[in-house]
A and B are shown apart, each in its own frame.
Chain A
Amino acid sequence: MKMQKYLWGQKAKSLLLLSGLILSAGCSSIQFVPPYDDQLDKDVTALQTATETFLVKIEREGSSSPDDYKKNYTDFYDKEKVAISGLEVRAGAVAVNDQTEGQIKILNDLIGKMETRHKDSGLSVIDATQYEQDLNRVFRAILTLEIAKKSVGTTTNSSH
């Protein structure tokens, strides 16, 4: 009788262990980084194009004064802010997306600094060139990480 109880106990333990293994193996993937988001990729690429177009124009024109900022460029900065806000919301809506969220904050900070400089003292060609280097570095960083996420999986749903 004791032996039978012992054997049943052993069987129960084995079943429990097997169930645990099946559960852990069946749900067999962990996630530190979210899947690739094609909409974020497209939105960041579109924002890079708009920003680059603006900076190339400033470089070609030689400079842009605070007056020029008021007359011609407040709309550009408004559009940039709206686009970045959209990126922030989209990146923040995804779990374990800390790196991308951090990068978008840096992008927002740089665009904000560029606007402040443009408004207060204008943008010189050197300013525009420096911002071009820095902003493109950030855009490249965001896109490099996003494209690398393709090895994790793909999210194709669009929020736009």
Chain B
Amino acid sequence: MSFNITPQMITNMEQAAAGSLVAGGQAAADYASHEFQQFAEDVDHIQDMLQAGTITQQDAQYYVNLQKSSMQAVLLTVQGLGMIAVQNAINAALAVLTTALGAALKVAL
């Protein structure tokens, strides 16, 4: 029995990891982009209401603070999506290694 980490195996591990990273990174970027755009529009609307005299300065500050609080939840999701992407990338690379090792040992790992 012999087990060698070949250049092909390293390439396979890289490809498996890259696929997960790209997909996860894209999902995080799409989500963040949509939410930041919405946040900008919502704050802009608060500004419009203030200028029109519909709300007071105090109300405007109160509403902006609420927006900022809710955006913290968005940032936590972006962080979580990034962590899922990294986790899936590492696990995809490890799966390639596990398969190769299982084949060399002729056992399922």
Using CB atoms and an 8 Å cutoff, list the residues of chain A in contact with chain B. 18, 21-22, 25-26, 28-33, 99-100, 102-103, 106-107, 109-110, 113, 126, 130-131, 133-135, 137-138, 140-142, 144-145, 148-149, 151-152
Residues in B whose Cβ lies below 8 Å from that of A134: 66-67, 69-70
* B interface SS class: helix
- Asked whether A103 and B83 contact (CB < 8 A) given A131-B66, A138-B70, the answer is no
Is B51 engaged at the interface, CB distance under 8 Å to the other chain?
no
Question: Chain A's nearest CB lies how many Å from the CB of B23?
Answer: 9
* A interface SS class: helix
A32 near B98 with CB under 8 A, answer no
Contact of A99 among B35, B70, B80 (CB under 8 A): B80
Question: Chain A's nearest CB lies how many Å from the CB of B100?
Answer: 9
Question: Chain A's nearest CB lies how many Å from the CB of B87?
Answer: 5
B35 near A103 with CB under 8 A, answer no
> What are 12 A-B residue pairs whose CB atoms fall within 8 Å in the complex?
A18-B3, A22-B101, A28-B95, A99-B79, A102-B73, A106-B76, A131-B66, A137-B39, A137-B74, A141-B73, A141-B77, A144-B81
